[in-house]
Amino acid sequence: MVQLDTTPCDTLKTLLEAAGVTTKIYTNWNIPTSGLPKEFIEIVQNGALISRAHKRALVEGNISIIINIKLLTTGASNTVREQKLINEFKDIFNSPMVSNGYSYKLNHNSMVYSGRAINTGYSTKIVNVNVLIS
């Protein structure tokens, strides 16, 4: 049985850091309101965890990886930094990442959003990751 205090976002953060991602990662909307770094990643649950009684998992759902990069002083996106940060993820999800009963798989066509918001001062890319919990 899956515990109600399941934390797939925190486990994914740990796996990403172990895989070499050095950018600051915040999980579960626990992000400061000021003093943010020039680039950071947020990992949040995207939708409900759905009970599935099949051979691969008991529960499945989606997690969003939100990549934020500070805009240039001109208000333009910093495409060089964006590409550098995206390259950190390029090979990490070649095969599912597995830890403590969680299995994470990136759908390579799962870019949910790519854009910028001048009022926040960051460009943003959002990618969904499938999580299976057994």
Query: What digits encode the pLDDT tens for the residues 94-116?
Result: 788 888 888 898 876 677 888 88
Query: What digits encode the pLDDT tens for the residues 51-110?
Result: 776 656 588 889 999 999 999 999 889 999 988 888 877 778 778 888 888 889 887 667
- pLDDT of amino acid 69: 93
CA distances from 108 to 89, 119, 123 (A): 11, 29, 20
Distance, first Cα to last Cα, the chain: 8
Identify the sign of the CA torsion 28, 97, 21, 63. negative
- pLDDT of amino acid 24: 95
Residue 118 pLDDT grade (very low, low, confident, very high; cuts 50, 70, 90): low
Query: What digits encode the pLDDT tens for the residues 25-49?
Result: 999 888 988 899 999 999 999 888 8
Ramachandran bin of 10, using left for φ above 0, alpha for ψ from -120 to 50, beta for the remaining angles? alpha
Token pair, residue 59, equals: 């529960």
- pLDDT of amino acid 1: 44
Residue 119 pLDDT grade (very low, low, confident, very high; cuts 50, 70, 90): low
